[in-house]
Amino acid sequence: MEVFYLVVFVCGLVLAIDFFAMWALNNAVTTSGPFVVSSPGRLVIILTLAVVVAGGLLAAVQVPDQLYSGVGYILYPFIWTIQKIANAVGIDRALLEALGDTEFAGWVRESLYGWATALTFHAFGNAIVIGLTFIIGLRLIGMFRAISYAAVLRLFPIIWFGVLVQVLSGFSLWMTKPARYTGDSMFDTKFTLVVIGIIVTIFFERVFRQEAANWEAAGAVSSRGLRWAGLAAVAWAGVLVGGRLTAYLGTLYMQ
């Protein structure tokens, strides 16, 4: 489980450094006063750094596996709900195996170009969703102030395009061995995070559309807007980490 803690530590540390670098660079060129972090913002930064430090400490010392499982329990209610919904609509193991036996699944699995194409599209879907969510998040906390909120709204359709690419390519990849993917705990966690990410982004966009004019008039974003922006960034970052760990921590590729 050392890998998981190290991923939290290394990625958290690098992204925190990036955040402070963006902060410094933004303030170096701003003409409308420096970007100041609010008290809740400061609390978020302190909490993030605490998680990073905890990740580093847990990676450095031997900790019982139960602690790692505890991280999974946070997501368990969501995973359980998704499993119940799947069962209710009749998705069972036989159906999954039948999906894996289709001609399309065979093409993605066995042909050189099928797997490579789906994986490439998946990578770009990922880059669009995470890249643009981070840019919108930074705008909302006070950076790039020359960009209006109305203009930022135009980025949401592109994010949805990225999500569509991710879903289609992800579905193609999943179809190569649906029964095995679905039984893998890391994949279940990642899939749950994707569902959470999509739901959070729907709410985030709705709040953005409702409140953008008020933010423009007040010159500041409401705490509701900031909360959704933060949740969206964390959820999609979790999807990326989950995707990487699915390849290395789960049972799918470690044969």
Partner 1 sequence: MHWIPQSWSHLHILVSVFPSVGLVFTLGFYVTAVITNNDGMRRICLFLFAILGLLAIPTYVSGDRSIVQVSQHPGFSEAALNSHYGWGLAAVAAIVLTGLVAIYELFQSQRAGWAKGQALNVVLVVSIITLVIMVLTDDYGFEINHHELTNPPRLVPGTSAPQMWSHVHMVLNHFPTVGFVIALAVFVAALAMNNDVMKRSSLTLFVICGALVIPTYVTGTGSMWALTQPPMEGISKAVINAHRDIALLALFGLAFTGGTAWVELWRSRNLGRFSGTSQLLILIFAVITLGILAETGHRGGQINHPEIHVAGDVLPTDPNAFWTPWIELKINNVIWFVPWQTVHFFGYCLIFGTALVIVLRVVGFWKSMPFSAVHQILPLGFLGVMMNVFTGMLMMLADSYRYIVQNTTFAPKMALIPIGVMAILYFSLSDRIWQVKAGEDAPASAKAVAYLVLLAWTGVIMGGRLLPYL
Write out the two tokens for 101: 């036996």
Write out the two tokens for 62: 């031997």
Residue type, 208: F
Q: Which stretch binds partner 1 (CB under 8 A): 35-43, 141-149, 168-176, 222-230?
A: 141-149
Looking at 16, 22, 167, 220, which residue binds partner 1 (CB under 8 A)? 22
CB 63, min distance to partner 1, A: 15
Q: Does 251 bind partner 1 (CB under 8 A)?
A: no
Q: Does 216 bind partner 1 (CB under 8 A)?
A: no
- C-alpha 190/C-alpha 206 separation (Å) is 24
Residue type, 52: V
Tell the residue number behind the tokens 């399309």, with chain if given: 104
- C-alpha 18/C-alpha 12 separation (Å) is 10
Q: Does 94 bind partner 1 (CB under 8 A)?
A: no
Per-residue b or e along 52-90, where b marks 16 or more CB atoms closer than 10 Å to that residue's CB: beebbebbeeeeeeeeeeeeeeebeebbeeeeeeeeeee
Q: Does 109 bind partner 1 (CB under 8 A)?
A: no
Q: Does 135 bind partner 1 (CB under 8 A)?
A: yes
Q: Which stretch binds partner 1 (CB under 8 A): 94-102, 142-150, 185-193, 211-219?
A: 142-150
The Cβ of residue 150 has, within 10 Å, a number of other Cβ atoms equal to 11
Nearer to partner 1, 80 or 253 (CB): 253
**SS3 of residue 247 by DSSP:** helix
The Cβ of residue 49 has, within 10 Å, a number of other Cβ atoms equal to 13
Q: Which stretch binds partner 1 (CB under 8 A): 73-81, 98-106, 149-157, 188-196?
A: 149-157
CB 228, min distance to partner 1, A: 19
Residues that bind partner 1 (CB under 8 A): 2-3, 6-7, 9-11, 14-15, 18, 21-22, 25-26, 28-29, 112, 115-116, 119-120, 123-124, 126-128, 130-132, 134-135, 138, 143-144, 146-148, 150-151, 154-155, 158, 237, 240-241, 243-245, 248-249
